[in-house]
Amino acid sequence: MIEIKDLQKHFGDNHVLRGITTTISEGEVVAVIGPSGGGKSTFLRCLNCLEDPDGGSILFQGEDLADMKVDINHHRENIGMVFQQFNLFAHKNVLKNITMAPLYHGKKKLKKAVFSAIINNICALFSSKKEKTPVPSYRKEMKALKEEIKQRGLDLLQKVGLSDKADAYPSTLSGGQKQRIAIARALAMQPKIMLFDEPTSALDPELVGEVLDVIKSLAQSGMTMVIVTHEMGFAREVASRVLFIADGIITEEGTPEELFGNPKHPRTKQFLKAVL
Partner 1 sequence: MSKKWSKFLDAFIDHKMYEVVLEGLRNTIVIAVAGLLIGILVGTIIASIRIMPKYKKSAKILDKIAYAYVSFFRGTPIVVQLLLGYYVLFPLMGIHLSPLVTCILIFGLNSSAYTSEIMRAGMDSVDKGQLEAARALGMGYWPSMLRVVIPQAIKNILPTLGNEFISLIKETSVVSFVTAMDIYTAFQKIGGQNYEYIIPYLVMAAIYIILVLGIGALIKLMERSLKKSDRN
Q: Give the interface with partner 1 as residue ranges (CB under 8 A).
A: 48, 50, 52, 68, 73-77, 79-81, 83, 85-93, 100-101, 104-105, 169-172, 182, 185-186, 189
Nearer to partner 1 among residue 105 and residue 230 (C-beta): 105
* Min CB(204)–partner 1 separation in Å: 17
The closest of 199, 208, 251, 247 to 226, measured between CA atoms, is 199
Q: Indicate the residue among 52 and 148 with the shorter CB distance to partner 1.
A: 52
- Sign of the dihedral through C-alpha 98, 100, 101, 105: positive
Q: Shortest Cβ distance from residue 270 to partner 1 (Å)? A: 32
CB of 87 to partner 1, least distance (A): 4
Nearer of residues 16 and 246 to partner 1, judged by Cβ: 16
| Minimum gap (Å) between residue 198 Cβ and partner 1 | 13
CB of 77 to partner 1, least distance (A): 4
What backbone phi and psi angles, to 5 degrees, belong to 51? -115, 130
Distance of CA 260 to the CA centre of its chain: 26
DSSP symbol at 230: S
Q: Taking each helix axis from N to C terminus, what angle separates 94-126 and 138-159, rounded to the nearest 10 degrees?
A: 150
Is 88 or 226 the residue whose CB approaches partner 1 more closely? 88
- As a whole number of angstroms, the distance between CA 8 and CA 43 comes to 9
In terms of CB distance, is 55 or 209 closer to partner 1?
55
CB 121 within 8 Å of CB 194: no
- For residues 160 and 80, is the Cβ–Cβ distance under 8 A? no
